[in-house]
Amino acid sequence: MTASTPDPLLTAELLERFRARAAGYDDANTFFTEDFAELESAGYLRMLVDTPPGDAGGMGGAAAAQRRLASAAPATALGVNMHLVWTAVAGLLADRGDASLRFVLDDAAQGEIFAFGVSEPGNDAVLFDSLTRVESLPDGGFGFTGTKVFTSLSPVWTRLGIFGKLEGQNGEDVILHAFVPRGTPGVEIVEDWNPLGMRATQSHTTRLSDVRVPAGAVFRRIPAGPNADLLVFGIFAAFESLIASVYLGIADRALDLAALALARRRSHVADRPLADDPVLRNLLAGAAMRRTGAEAELRSVTQDLDARTDVGSQWFARLVTLKTHAVDAAVAATGAALHVGGGSGFSASSEVARLHRDALAGQFHPSTEESARATVATALLGPPST
């Protein structure tokens, strides 16, 4: 399915309602409550349960749907992305013979909402280390204490995916992954979200204070440090490809708005539409070429994920490159749309200005530009010697 193919889950009317509400959520810095209710009742959150990754083409379908949703309401798409990523991870693992996250799909089918409590202040190792401390409890369970930042879907999640580090003897530390249900004692949502863009995601800080997790709720134990555990691959693959879809959707909308503006505006001096100005045509074409490149990458990555194509150690380089290119395409397209649309687009309430602010958020998601380049260089050269 392409970005322009009708999607049974996202009707044109639904998308127009989302687009109409997006400015209000952004202005008031509030959660996309009405959009969320409509997506939930349309079955959008069960998308990867009903059409899983693999032969059914779940990754390709989810990527196309998220791209369309983001073209109408980027923050709504980024928010639900976190839930979709968990269901994609569960499906990717199941499709590769690992049923350990099957319960995520069952719970999502029952209406549970999954969120990502991964990011921690000052933890640039992301999945490979954790500043959240885990303690073993006498009953066999664990206590988690730490801070998670940027928790999208804070107002609505019912299952928060967290991880923390259990210090082992002889320096063999282990990262423990678990889901905690909403209402678990010690989980505190600190309502501090007031960013430049993607405001409706309401990605508040989450404090964990001795959060008790039964042994059975820990679904993965991975040695701390870089490793190629299938869970790490699954999170990376699902996260990078679905995040790329969101930013590609922003690029789509920005290019449409830019083309409309060029057709509408005229040069008084040259007595012709700005759409005939060769400099502006060139500018728009450059931005559109970036979108086309990222689109081709997204399609090939999601096809290979669904087909279980073995690209070996190239997977991580491909995934971080896709994410980087999609965010670059969104920033270039929104920048071009601002430029060709004239001064009215600079109004704080204009759609194109909001899209540009939303696009700027993309650089902060893993992998950042620096980390992506380090990954690609390592794929080519091996790790640095010092």
Ligand X SMILES: Cc1cc2nc3c(=O)[nH]c(=O)nc-3n(C[C@H](O)[C@H](O)[C@H](O)COP(=O)(O)OP(=O)(O)OC[C@H]3O[C@@H](n4cnc5c(N)ncnc54)[C@H](O)[C@@H]3O)c2cc1C
Given a contact cutoff of 8 angstroms between Cβ atoms, the answer to whether 57 and 306 are in contact is: yes
In the region spanning residues 143 to 162, those forming contacts with ligand X, defined by CB under 6 A, are 149-152
Q: Does 243 sit near ligand X (CB under 6 A)?
A: no
**Of the residues 14, 134, 180, 198, which one makes contact with ligand X according to CB under 6 A:** 198
**Of the residues 18, 116, 236, 316, which one makes contact with ligand X according to CB under 6 A:** 116
**Of the residues 8, 122, 312, 382, which one makes contact with ligand X according to CB under 6 A:** 122
Which letter does DSSP use for residue 368 in this model? P
Q: Which residues of 194-214 are buried (b: 16+ CB within 10 A; e: fewer)?
A: ebebbbbbbbbbbebeebebe
Q: Does 346 sit near ligand X (CB under 6 A)?
A: no
Q: Does 73 sit near ligand X (CB under 6 A)?
A: no
The encoded tokens of residue 52 equal 């899983």
Q: Does 130 sit near ligand X (CB under 6 A)?
A: no
**Of the residues 232, 366, 375, 376, which one makes contact with ligand X according to CB under 6 A:** 366
Q: Does 191 sit near ligand X (CB under 6 A)?
A: no
Q: Does 201 sit near ligand X (CB under 6 A)?
A: yes
Q: Cβ of residue 190: shortest distance to ligand X, in angstroms?
A: 11
Q: Sort 5 into a burial class: Cβ within 10 Å, 0-12 / 13-18 / 19+.
A: exposed
Sequential DSSP letters for 92-128 = HHHHTT--TTHHHHHHHHTT--EEEE---TT-TTGGG
The encoded tokens of residue 192 equal 């501090």
Q: Does 88 sit near ligand X (CB under 6 A)?
A: no
Helices 12-28 and 58-72, packing angle to 10 deg = 60
Pick between residue 184 and residue 363 the one whose CB is nearest to ligand X.
Answer: 363
Closest to 228 (Cα-Cα) out of 106, 137, 310, 332: 310
Beta-bridged to residue 148, according to DSSP, are 206
Q: Cβ of residue 292: shortest distance to ligand X, in angstroms?
A: 25
**Of the residues 105, 361, 372, 376, which one makes contact with ligand X according to CB under 6 A:** 361
Q: Does 86 sit near ligand X (CB under 6 A)?
A: no
| Total chain residues near ligand X (CB under 6 A) | 20
Q: Cβ of residue 94: shortest distance to ligand X, in angstroms?
A: 23
Pick between residue 274 and residue 372 the one whose CB is nearest to ligand X.
Answer: 372
Q: How far apart are CA 19 and CA 192, in angstroms?
A: 25
Pick between residue 71 and residue 151 the one whose CB is nearest to ligand X.
Answer: 151
Given a contact cutoff of 8 angstroms between Cβ atoms, the answer to whether 119 and 82 are in contact is: no
Pick between residue 284 and residue 326 the one whose CB is nearest to ligand X.
Answer: 326
In the region spanning residues 268 to 327, those forming contacts with ligand X, defined by CB under 6 A, are none
Pick between residue 32 and residue 116 the one whose CB is nearest to ligand X.
Answer: 116
Q: How far apart are CA 71 and CA 249, in angstroms?
A: 4
Phi, psi of 8, deg, nearest 5: -60, -25
Binding interface with ligand X (CB under 6 A): 78, 82, 115-119, 121-122, 149-152, 198, 201, 203, 361, 364-366
